[in-house]
Structure 1
Amino acid sequence: MVDKSLLQRQVREQLAADLLQVEQALSAAHEAATHEENIAENKYDTLGLEAAYLATGQARRAEAIRQAMVHWRLFCPQPYSASKGIQLGALVCLLGADEKQQLIFLGPEGGNMKLVIGAESIQVISSQAPLGKALLGKAEGDEVMLEVAQARQQLEVLWVS
């Protein structure tokens, strides 16, 4: 069984690495936007403007990652309760129509990523994702119907922890 605290730690570490990368890109974009060689000489000279747009986008992405880090730092998953069904913090094993199993960890916003722990590949999703919404309240043995790109997927909940 996969340790949920290990999953949380790996998500937080990945978010920290993502933030570092975005902050470096933001710094480079800001440098390019303000560099004297990129001052527009005519209306067709847009390199500085494009760099400024890029810097703004990188700043927004950095703020989104910071917010996700706060959510994940405060996140305390509760043990699975069959009476409540799948809730935030559940580790779920799904079986697809192709008989392939997949592990899903349902976490707070901002941590959508794939993690590998040992031989296990675990998809981390939020309860706001379509699959996350479909899983909420379900229990072991339940079927989950999901429509992705106009194709219906039928999944079975094998187990939950």
Structure 2
Amino acid sequence: MNKHAIHQLILEKLRDDLEVAQRAAQTAYETATHEENIAENKYDTLGLEASYLAAGQAKRVEEIRQALGLFQNLTLRAYDEQTGIQVGALLGLEDENGHEQWLFLGPDGAGLKVYVVGQLITVITPRSPLGQSLVGKFEGDEVQIVVAGTRQQFTVTEVK
């Protein structure tokens, strides 16, 4: 798997998501400020609800814009066996049941998913419990996290 190609797919996905979010924010803004949505009495809350939606959409646009900027400025480095897993690493994990997954440890954009030749790759960040436990680990290392009171164990199978 080519880490640089995956990085490009993540950038494309973020650009697409930004475009969709900007359109949604614009639509919500236009709805909130449309003259037909001016409250006629204290129970008429359509304009207020639309303004809350517009604010939320604007926040989402800013979050995506920030993630895009961080990914654009991300310098991809080859895996260094001295420092272990760092932001920008592409890695394979295997759980206790033998299920494999591929992760990209990114600076932001947690939960974003891209496919490469039918293989799902999920972006995680060092702020997540799994991301935090992976930083500095090496191929063959085991990591454990506790999610909702349940312990999960993974083995790092490959790092690029």
**Common topology (TM > 0.5):** yes
Deviates more, 1:102-111 or 1:49-58: 102-111
Deviations 1:55-75 (A, max 9, x none): 011111101111111101110
Q: Give the alignment's Cα RMSD to 1 decimal.
A: 1.1
Structure 2 match to 1:126 = 125
Tell me the CA shift for residue 8 of structure 1: 1.0
Q: Which ranges in structure 2 are unaligned for 5 or more consecutive residues?
A: none
Q: Quick check: 1:89–1:105 contact (8 Å CA) kept in 2?
A: yes
1:42 paired to 2:26: no
Q: Quick check: 1:68–1:111 contact (8 Å CA) kept in 2?
A: no
Q: Which amino acid aligns with 2:17?
A: D
Q: Quick check: 2:109–2:123 contact (8 Å CA) kept in 1?
A: no
Tell me the CA shift for residue 147 of structure 1: 1.0
1:151 paired to 2:150: yes
1:77 paired to 2:63: no
TM (normalized to structure 1)? 0.95
Tell me the CA shift for residue 119 of structure 1: 2.7
Identical amino acids, percent of aligned pairs = 47
Q: Which ranges in structure 1 are unaligned for 5 or more consecutive residues?
A: none
**1:72-151 alignment, distance < 5 Å:** 72-151=71-150
Q: Quick check: 1:26–1:59 contact (8 Å CA) kept in 2?
A: yes
Structure 2 match to 1:64 = 63
Q: Quick check: 2:28–2:51 contact (8 Å CA) kept in 1?
A: yes
Aligned residue pairs: how many? 160
Tell me the CA shift for residue 120 of structure 1: 1.6
Q: Quick check: 1:91–1:103 contact (8 Å CA) kept in 2?
A: yes
C-alpha distance in 2, partners of 1:98/1:111? 24
Q: Which amino acid aligns with 2:138?
A: A
- Runs of 4+ deviating beyond 6 Å: none
Q: Quick check: 1:15–1:111 contact (8 Å CA) kept in 2?
A: no
Tell me the CA shift for residue 111 of structure 1: 5.0
Structure 1 match to 2:27 = 28
